[in-house]
A and B are shown apart, each in its own frame.
Chain A
Amino acid sequence: MAKSNNKIVLMKGEKEFHYIALVIMVLMMIFCLVPLILMLAVSFSSENSLLHGYRFIPDEWSLDAYAFMWAKRATISRAYGLTILVTVVGTALSLVITSMFAYPLSRKDFKPRNVVAFILFFTMLFNGGMTATYIVWTRLFHIKDTLWAYLLPGALMNGMNVLLVRNYFNANIPYSIIEAARMDGAKDWTIYSKIMVPLSKPIMTTIGLFSALGYWNNWSAGLYYIGNPKLYTIQVYLKKLMDSIQFLKTTDLTDEAVLLAQRTLPTESARMAIAIIALIPILAVYPFIQKELIKGMVDGGVKG
């Protein structure tokens, strides 16, 4: 009897605890959604209603922002196309190079693997710093104002991903499979492409997704290496857009040229609409890939 009483009290305390946790998490979720909702609302507001300030529920709904984007479709679709190109090519290259580097490292009978592993580890501990990296890529490899600027600096392969793939190979593909394939006369290239890669889809998916996300979101390459507006990706286009808005804000507004420039700039709502357009692909695929992404965050987060 005493015991069951005790249990009821306990359950009550647990219930309260449970609902407090639930409320906190719902609030946290709302906190994460609010900025995105504001952005969406602004993009659907008419320009006049925005003069009173941004609102979560537009005073006056309008598709002007999206009409403006349609009028500017040449510029925007070019930037968009380049972003897709960079993301697809970058991710594919990155996956191939990373897994090809990881395979020999996973082979216990490959003698130089300790030396190579050290060469790789060392890049995770030490780097030459941004300035030296910039000078090497621009003065030695001349990637300024080429698409290579998006693909190469810092993005193609990193030690962490190689380690994740190597560890996956080691943990999930028994050496006996490789030996058996060798007995049957399979060459290393065949083993890599016909056994290792197909058997390691989960890890390839994870690092592929993070790599794609990195390429899609890469704006700092544009900041450092791209001056030619024809080579803007959507992120760089947005960044330059924000710059010109700031520039006009700090310039004398009576100036004729400035007024003219201001008229050709996207309106308040259109800017937010363009940002949403850049976010849409991520939003669209996120529900389907979030499990892999979150798993990747755990795997990658535990190691430096």
Chain B
Amino acid sequence: MSENNKTHDAEFDNVLKEQLKQQKKEKIKNDLPLYLMMLPGMLYLIANNYLPMFGILLAFKRINYSIGIFKSPWVAFDNFEYLFKTKDAFIMIRNTLAYNAVWILMDLVIAVFIALCMNEIAQRKIAKVIQPIICFPSMVSAVILSFLVYAFLSQSYGYLNATIFKDNPVQWYNTAKYWPFILTIVHIWQGAGQSSVIYMASIGGIDKSLYESARIDGATKLEQIRYITLPLLKPMIIMMLLLSVGRIFNSDFGLFYQVPLGNGMLYETTQTIDTFVYRALMISNNVGQSSAASVFQAVIGFFLVLISNLMVRKINPENSLF
């Protein structure tokens, strides 16, 4: 009887297993359309993102196109050593970090300030005109941006040399010391409106009754900002700061390369890691140094983004990438 039962159980198990297998097969078959839908995107990620990750190995080779990339000899950290021995390395890292450090703080203050002002006039009709206009510059490409800047700074015809500096024309495009200011103004012009939008949205989300009761208690506008708006914006501000710290080794290539018109005399103040990577690769044909700099940027950037997102996750999991 028990013997019989056992075989019965075994049979039953087998049938069950077979069924499960069948189900699994069916599941994959059922999911096949889903896999197919992801296929183009997956191929793109492989080509655009994952293959270049293996390309990092190129930084450890002395690339010689005539014998081919695969046959080019391995040179360990030679490329990095050469790179960091040059003055270029110091200049580009200094510039990238310095511009980012100053701009992250400046952007924050300007963006919050604009958001506060916009919120104050939000009820007016003109606000509906102002907001799109101050956001428009972010739609302009770096090339057109360079034309706009050129209209002001061109040596012979530019607006500034034709008016304010008429008696004493300035060689804007040949003098490095002006560019930190020029780039900062251009950066504000292009980004200020756009970066204020997020804070405007957060202010818009604040409960209006808080302000009402503060007013009844006699709080002035400045007090309302100080004790209601800013404290409530704090999580958003901290999060945006953390996210921008994650990108501190990156720079806006168009702004730093195209707006100064790729001028070599301005390296001192316009060279960033991104412009160096481009110049070494495409102009001076130094693949080794270019890939060393770009790998350096990617690896440090990876850790920074990781750390900043871990911190963001602690504050507000919804806004973290993972």
Contact = CB atoms under 8 A, between A and B. Distances in A.
Interface of A: 6, 10, 13-14, 17-18, 21-22, 24-26, 28-29, 31-33, 35-36, 38-39, 42, 50-56, 96-98, 100-101, 103-104, 107, 110-111, 116, 119-121, 123-137, 139-141, 152-154, 156-157, 162, 187-189, 192, 213, 216-220, 223-224, 235, 238-239, 242-243, 246, 249, 268, 271-272, 275, 278-279, 282, 286-287, 290, 293-294, 297-298, 301-304
Given A25-B118, A54-B162, A188-B33, 14 more contacts: A10-B220, A21-B121, A32-B136, A32-B137, A53-B157, A54-B154, A129-B297, A136-B47, A157-B45, A235-B144, A242-B261, A243-B262, A287-B132, A297-B138
Contact of B220 (A13, A54, A104): A13
B31 A133 contact: no
A25 B159 contact: no
B143 A28 contact: no
A136 B52 contact: yes
Interface stretch (B9-17, B53-61, B89-97, B98-106): B53-61
A130 B189 contact: no
B151 A24 contact: no
A158 to B, nearest CB: 9
Contact of B142 (A101, A152, A219): A219
A38 B274 contact: no
Most chain B C-beta atoms within 10 Å of own C-beta, residue among A18, A119, A129, A192? A129
B67 interface: no
Nearest to A35: B148
Contacts of A18: 120-121
Contact of A246 (B135, B263, B278, B308): B263
A2 to B, nearest CB: 11
A53 B121 contact: no
Given A132-B52, A304-B321, A55 B33 contact: no
Contacts, number: 309
Contact of A297 (B40, B148, B194): B194
A97 B195 contact: no
A22 B322 CA distance: 40
Contacts of A152: 44, 47-48
A131 B118 contact: no
Contact of A271 (B147, B198, B201): B147
A156 B254 contact: no
Contacts of A107: 34
A287 B319 CA distance: 30
B47 A141 contact: yes
Contact of B41 (A97, A279, A301): A97
A136 B51 contact: yes
A128 B54 contact: yes
Given A10-B220, A136-B51, A282 B197 contact: no
A244 to B, nearest CB: 11
B157 A54 contact: yes
A116 B189 contact: no
B164 to A, nearest CB: 11
Interface string B3-45: 0000000000000000000000001000101110110111011
Contacts of B162: 52-55
Contact of B37 (A53, A100, A127, A223): A100
Nearest to A246: B261
B248 interface: no
Interface string B256-295: 0010011100000000001001100110000100110111
A101 B302 contact: no
A192 B33 CA distance: 10
A128 B52 CA distance: 5
Contact of B150 (A24, A51, A216, A242): A242
Given A28-B114, A32-B193, A286-B139, A39 B151 contact: yes
A50 B309 contact: no
A282 B139 contact: yes
Contacts of B148: 35-36, 38-39, 275
Contact of B34 (A21, A110, A126, A139): A110
Given A131-B277, A294-B131, A294-B132, A136 B55 contact: yes
Contact of B134 (A29, A249, A303): A29
Interface in B123-143: 124, 126-127, 129-143
B135 A103 contact: no
A34 B127 CA distance: 18
A283 B40 CA distance: 33
A28 B116 CA distance: 13
Q: Give the top 8 A-B pairs by smallest Cβ distance, nearest first.
A: A53-B162, A132-B55, A128-B52, A129-B294, A101-B41, A217-B141, A21-B120, A188-B33
B69 interface: yes
Contact of A24 (B117, B124, B195, B298): B117
A248 to B, nearest CB: 12
A121 B302 CA distance: 12
A196 B148 CA distance: 43
22 contacts: A17-B221, A22-B126, A26-B126, A29-B130, A32-B134, A32-B193, A53-B162, A100-B37, A104-B37, A123-B50, A124-B305, A129-B295, A134-B281, A136-B55, A156-B48, A188-B34, A217-B139, A293-B135, A297-B138, A298-B197, A301-B194, A304-B246
Contacts of A104: 34-35, 37-38
